[in-house]
Amino acid sequence: MRTALVLVLALVSAPHVTHTEVVQKLTGFARLPADSFASGPTSGQFIAAANGVVPPFPGRQPIQGFSAVLRAPNGDFWVMEDNGFGSKATSPDFVLRVYRISPDFKTANGGTGSVLVKTFLSLRDPDMKINFAIVAEGSVYPGSIIPVDPDIRSQRLLTGADFDIESLREAHDGTLWFGDEFGPFLLHTDATGKVLEAPIPLPGVQSPENPFGGAANLASSRGFEGMAITPNGKFLYPMLEGPVAGDDQQTLRINEFDLGTNRYTGRTFRYHLDVAGYSIGDLTAVTDELLLVIERDQAQGAAAQFKKIFLVDLGEVDASGLLVKHEVVDLLNLADPLHLGGPNATFRFPFQTIESVIPLSQNELGVLNDNNYPFSAGRTPGSPDPNEFITIRLDRPLPQFAKAKK
Determine the 3-state secondary structure of 362 from DSSP: coil
User: Distance (Å, rounded) from C-alpha 65 to C-alpha 84?
Assistant: 6
Quote the pLDDT of residue 23.
85
DSSP 320: T
- The DSSP output letter for 303 is G
DSSP string, 167-233: EEEE-TTS-EEEEESSS-EEEEE-TTSBB-S--EE-TT---TT-TT-S---S-TT-SEEEEEE-TTS
Q: Phi first, then psi: give them for residue 81, nearest 5 degrees.
A: -80, 155
Is the dihedral angle over the CA atoms 215, 355, 285, 252 positive or is it negative?
A: negative
Compute the distance between CA of residue 308 and CA of residue 13 in angstroms, rounded to an integer: 13
The pLDDT tens digits of the residues spanning 113-163 come to 999 999 999 999 999 999 999 999 999 999 999 999 999 999 999 999 999
Q: Do residues 165 and 67 make contact, with C-beta atoms less than 8 angstroms apart?
A: yes
First to last CA, the chain: 37
Amino acid at position 158, single letter = L
- Whole-number pLDDT of residue 116: 98
397-401's contacts with Cβ under 8 Å and 24+ in sequence apart are: 397/362, 397/363, 398/286, 398/290, 398/292, 398/311, 398/328, 398/359, 398/362, 398/363, 399/286, 399/287, 399/290, 399/362, 401/20, 401/311, 401/326, 401/327, 401/328
| Strand 323-330 relative to strand 307-317, pairing | antiparallel
* Nearest CA among 30, 31, 28, 24 for reference residue 108: 28
Q: Provide the pLDDT for residue 19.
A: 62
Q: Distance (Å, rounded) from C-alpha 168 to C-alpha 294?
A: 15
Please tell me the predicted confidence (pLDDT) of residue 1: 40
What tens-digit pLDDT sequence spans the chain (406 residues)?
443 333 333 333 444 566 656 689 999 999 999 999 999 999 999 999 999 999 999 999 999 999 999 999 999 999 999 999 999 999 999 999 999 999 999 999 999 999 999 999 999 999 999 999 999 999 999 999 999 999 999 999 999 999 999 999 999 999 999 999 999 999 999 999 999 999 999 999 999 999 998 899 999 999 999 999 999 999 999 999 999 999 999 999 999 999 999 999 999 999 999 999 999 999 999 999 999 999 999 999 999 999 999 999 999 999 999 999 999 999 999 999 999 999 999 999 999 999 999 999 999 999 999 999 999 999 999 999 999 999 999 999 999 998 644 3
Residues comprising the chain, all counted: 406
Residue 255 and residue 268 in contact, taking contact as beta carbons nearer than 8 Å: yes
Eight-state DSSP code of residue 98: E
Instruction: Classify 102 in phi/psi space as left (phi over 0), alpha (psi -120 to 50) or beta.
Output: beta
- Its pTM stands at 0.93
Q: Where are the domains of the chain?
A: 17-401
Residues 19-46 have pLDDT tens digits of 656 689 999 999 999 999 999 999 999 9
Q: Domain 17-401 maps to which CATH number in 3.20.170, 2.115.10, 2.60.40, 1.10.3470?
A: 2.115.10
3-state secondary structure of 302: helix
Q: Tell me how far CA of residue 65 lies from CA of 36, 296, 355, in angstroms.
A: 12, 16, 9
Spatial separation of the C-alpha atoms in residues 40 and 18, rounded to whole Å: 47
Residue 139's contacts (CB-CB under 8 Å, 6 or more residues apart) are 147, 148
Q: Which string of b and e fits 12-21 if b means at least 16 CB within 10 Å? A: eeeeebeeee
